[in-house]
Structure 1
């Protein structure tokens, strides 16, 4: 199994847990491989026979025909140890290569079936976007060609444009990166003038910043989001050159007689993308009435639309991430929840037009369609956001910055000519390795 296949299987395993809908079902893989015989020959001597159970893994009943798909975690573990050559041990009889390949193919099929059929997936707890997701979402919603505000937590800055090509052609032999938290120049990049970020979110004990109990919205923070939204649209660089949707959204219609109709069409599309699901008539009317009233009062069209944008990106409907996969959720709504889960997992941002179109058509949850979308998203440059966010939290690389080893014993940690400092290499190398894999 090549490395790309391993990565895709790993993503599918996580995606299955994060994205599975109870309505999606799949039949177990056909018995094309005698898995029980494999366990009986190579595994149960240490994992079940005569009461001997190493590592708390008992495979005896599965060697006798029990359904391994009933325990997806064990199934994943068995697949991994066989795939990585960790089992059987080196001093035991090894699985013939042809049998091993057949076993892996069979186990992969069983794992997909197990993940699709397992209905015990928890519903996502309501939480607001973290700072990283908010910046991405605003940038994608408005089609910004610059950053919203600097984000030191995005530790590595791509200075040679390698990533967009690397996801299709592989990593280049040489590339140029810089460190945002360790180098001032790393934070100097095109962004909206005068816009500063809100404080970085606290992380949970295990280091991740997507936990609901850490992402609440106090009245003070709500006010901060409102002020931030006003600052964004009032930035001196917020205009046609930096906003990708300027012509289609902010520019006044040529025929003023059609303003109400055009305004309604623009707002419906904008609100659907911002709120990640079809917008109701009442919600649309509220925003439409405000904008039209301001325009009729003499406010320039683009200024009225800026007010709408400010209200939208400070709205709880935009800020909060939530879903409901229960019986009360209608099928179209469930499809949109799936699109949102998928996009925030891989892109840290809003679903794009293709995901929303598939959700609207009710076909996103189809296994083949979903697999195609995962492949598409893994080949999109926005995957860089996943690489910017997950490994730094997983490896807790930010702790390197606050480390203060003895300068006399480890002088290169602080400065290592001709490079900047070893600290930077310690952060950049694991991030580049993660991206390479």
Structure 2
């Protein structure tokens, strides 16, 4: 079946490469080349690189004034590098420009090159193609066929390319032969799970504590059963203790075909006073995926049952259930239970063994007790079964039924109406398979595979080559809105309105926006948009050095990420102001993050809003541990990277590229006085080639020097080597416009004074995310209109999202 399908797929896979660019970020009005660059070039460059002399075979006077154009950008980039490196103009130039004058030229050229790249990428052809990201592909497949494909699992889909953090930009998400192979394999696996050869039965399997312990022998088990103790045995899990392999999981026959499974566990968790709660993690090792995690707080005599649903691919896998907290392990002889199974903390221990509680029965360590684990599955709901059935004909030899089923599948998969001509090629595939002797289900699956490998499924297609227009049709609006808010295909209500031609009506569109924001699926917007806007993909890229930051663990990293998501969700749900992102008197924490922030009173293992005190030194996005960590390198904070992040994420500016061969900041010499990174950065300010840019970047990052590489507050910088005491932190600074600040709080107040600049940036980032392209100069008027309305509405975020969705910009290609 599959070799024959390749011939059918060739036209579709060729079309997959038609990804039309759509990118760009608008810059404010600037002086023209003739005023800003022309005089500099004539005065300092033409004598050696002009009509009479061309040193290095380089001529600058004939370079295009359209600096960002494809033919000239590379040559102007060389000019930037020469000025940055101090090579040009040469030192013997009689009237050599100052470093400041050179920096002005470099910044102007770099901005024009960036504009040119954006304009080239954002060129709007009659039809635009925007490939689904991995996240969107997984969500779309789940809504279409009820299968949760592990796009990030080993052997899943390729990672998405990103542009300034965004993973949805059509021109960046290119397509290669490797992508096509991955999509082909993914579609096969998805369809095999959705339409198995034999009916799948749902079963329930329970692993008792005796099973989970990996014993005891059959003789000992029989003895425990005779004593009436077998059902009283429990698994005692010390900090770091793991149950691994097949013990926590079902048998291989149960997961042979993959699918959804419910997992239930009866557990107890004891937390020592002032310490961490035991933290249960459930990990699938073969697919490298964390299935579940939760702090467990329940007395051993009143255990709780936790439940979660997970999706597993076909084939056996091993699992690891862990009490994932630091503390003494049970590995020493003094920690193990020995030959006698564990029954209760109250049972007491042999005198030479480590005690679990004090004399009053209060736990000494975060201790987890597991009574049993139960698996149920594979689970297919009636709704999913009914949805799958409408795509699969039931009557052999009835080609009309085949045609109807495939047409329904094409319409849902392509997210728009389809013509008979479009569906005929897929019907022909099924018909050819039937003629070759294939079973009805296999023949239709082959046609469905072709549909899932076509450009119309893998791409969001906007525009019409026969009737070019800049405006979206109703189905394109439905797709844009759904993938913006839910990162998945439109649901039936949205598609019904599109069929009726009602989505261009502002009142209807507003009603749909409100409905969709109230839907649980809108949580995906609060995850995906801030993750991409704030470049959260960099969190964890440089894992902190465990010797320097032993308290950093995967649970803390996930909690950091969760704070930012929960914070954005809270601002959106409550329609708070954009100002909250810059500074706030509250944040969202769970117990793990509260401990990191040295906050008390947080017990429930979920994110909750907490009031910030002055001594917490936090507020807004910029002091969140995730943001401070993603701009660090695992061993130390990086003020320059923090400054660049603020420029890009808050002000929407990209600094010029640094000069080549810049010397890195070296570790402190052991025989020199200890020095802060700030002190070492001062050396760059003495280099005129670096000073102009660093004056703009450094203050934005130095404002947060009171926070270390994992976002903890400190008053002195811990310097690992050198002589003398650790130096005090200096987080003061002066902005390029002359305004001064004494630390992060005052800096955030200065940002609030520039909330209009942030308003403009936020709108551009939202538009970039939603329109799947960056903004060009052609979008300036539309963006300004949205910004003005946002200002009139006091920058309230939910209102801003509504203004954007109802704008003309949202309905344009």
TM-score relative to the length of structure 1: 0.54
Q: CA deviation at 1:126?
A: 2.1
The answer for the alignment partner of 1:340 in structure 2 is: 479
Aligned mate of 1:135, from 131, 135, 138: 138
Shift of 1:332: 12
Question: Against the structure 1 CA distance between its residues 406 and 222, is the aligned structure 2 distance closer, same or farther, given a 3 Å change threshold?
Answer: closer
Q: Is 1:383 aligned to residue 522 of structure 2?
A: yes
SS where residue 323 of structure 1 aligns? Answer: strand
Q: Which residue of 2 aligns with 1:349?
A: 488
The answer on whether the counterparts of 1:202 and 1:214 sit within 8 Å (CA) in structure 2 is: yes
Query: Is structure 2 residue 392 aligned with structure 1 residue 250?
Result: yes
Change in Cα spacing, 1:327 to 1:271, as seen in structure 2 (3 Å) is: closer
In structure 2, C-alpha distance between the alignment counterparts of 1:327 and 1:295, rounded to whole Å: 36
What are the residue-to-residue correspondences of 1:135-214 with 2, within 5 Å? Answer: 135-142=138-145, 144=146, 146-149=147-150, 151=152, 196-204=155-163, 206-214=164-172
In the TM superposition, residue 201 of structure 1 has moved relative to its aligned partner by 0.8
Q: 2:459 aligns with which of 320, 327, 332?
A: 320
d(CA) in 2 for partners of 1:266, 1:231: 20
Structure 1: segments with no counterpart, 5+ residues: 1-17, 19-120, 153-194, 415-419
Displacement of 1:314: 0.8
Question: In structure 1, what is the equivalent of residue 29 of structure 2?
Answer: none
Provide the aligned C-alpha RMSD in A: 3.2
Deviation sequence 1:378-406 (CA, Å, 0-9, x none)? 12222232233222222233322123445
Deviations 1:105-151 (A, max 9, x none): xxxxxxxxxxxxxxxx9788423111111111111121x1x421154
Equivalent position of 2:567 in the other structure = 433
CA distance in 2 between partners of 1:305 and 1:281 (Å):
17
Q: SS of the residue aligned with 1:126?
A: strand
Q: What is the deviation of 1:297?
A: 4.1
Cα distance in 1 between the residues matched to 2:527 and 2:133? 14
Contact 1:275 1:318 survives alignment (8 Å) = yes
Contact 1:332 1:359 in 2 (8 A): no
The 8 Å contact of residues 363 and 369 in structure 1, kept in 2 or not, is answered as: yes
State the alpha-carbon separation in 1 of the partners of residues 542 and 470 from structure 2: 50
User: What is the CA-CA distance between 1:407 and the residue it aligns to?
Assistant: 4.0
Greater fraction of residues in helix: 1
- Using the TM superposition, give the Cα deviation of residue 279 of structure 1 relative to its aligned residue in structure 2, in angstroms: 0.9
2:156 and 2:420 map into 1 onto residues whose CA distance is 33
Q: Distance in 2 between matches of 1:301 and 1:332?
A: 42
Residues 326 and 365 (structure 1), Cα distance of their counterparts in 2 relative to 1, 3 Å cut = farther
Q: 1:368 to 1:325 in 2, by over 3 A?
A: farther
By how many angstroms is 1:198 displaced?
1.1
Cα distance between partner residues in 2 of 1:219 and 1:297: 29
CA–CA distance in structure 2, aligned partners of residues 405 and 237 of structure 1: 36
- Is residue 224 of structure 1 aligned with residue 182 of structure 2? yes
* Higher RCO (CA-CA < 8 Å; seq separation 6+): 1
Q: Give me the whole-angstrom Cα distance separating, in 2, the residues matched to 1:280 and 1:266.
A: 14
Distance of 2:522 and 2:464 partners within structure 1: 26
CA deviations on 1:83-120 (whole Å, 9 max, x unpaired) are xxxxxxxxxxxxxxxxxxxxxxxxxxxxxxxxxxxxxx
CA distance in 1: counterparts of 2:258 and 2:558, whole angstroms: 32
User: Could you say which residue in structure 1 is the equivalent of 2:425?
Assistant: 286
Equivalent of 1:422, from 548, 553, 556?
556
- Check 1:371–1:296 CA distance in 2 against 1; reply closer, same or farther (3 A cut): same
Q: Which residue of 1 aligns with 2:320?
A: none
1:29 aligns to what? none
Q: Secondary structure at the match of 1:307?
A: helix
Contact 2:402 2:444 in 1 (8 A): no
Q: Give me the whole-angstrom Cα distance separating, in 2, the residues matched to 1:247 and 1:130.
A: 27
- Is 1:363 paired with 2:502? yes
Q: Tell me, in whole angstroms, the C-alpha distance in 1 between the residues paired with 2:557 and 2:535.
A: 14
Gap runs ≥5 in structure 2: 1-21, 23-122, 194-256, 260-377, 572-813
Length, aligned pairs only = 265
Task: Determine the structure 2 residue equivalent to 1:275.
Answer: 414
**Residues 421 and 273 (structure 1), Cα distance of their counterparts in 2 relative to 1, 3 Å cut:** closer
Give, in whole Å, the separation in 1 of the partners of 2:504 and 2:487.
Answer: 20
Q: In structure 2, what is the Cα distance between the partners aligned to 1:373 and 1:322?
A: 22
Q: Which has the larger radius of gyration?
A: 2
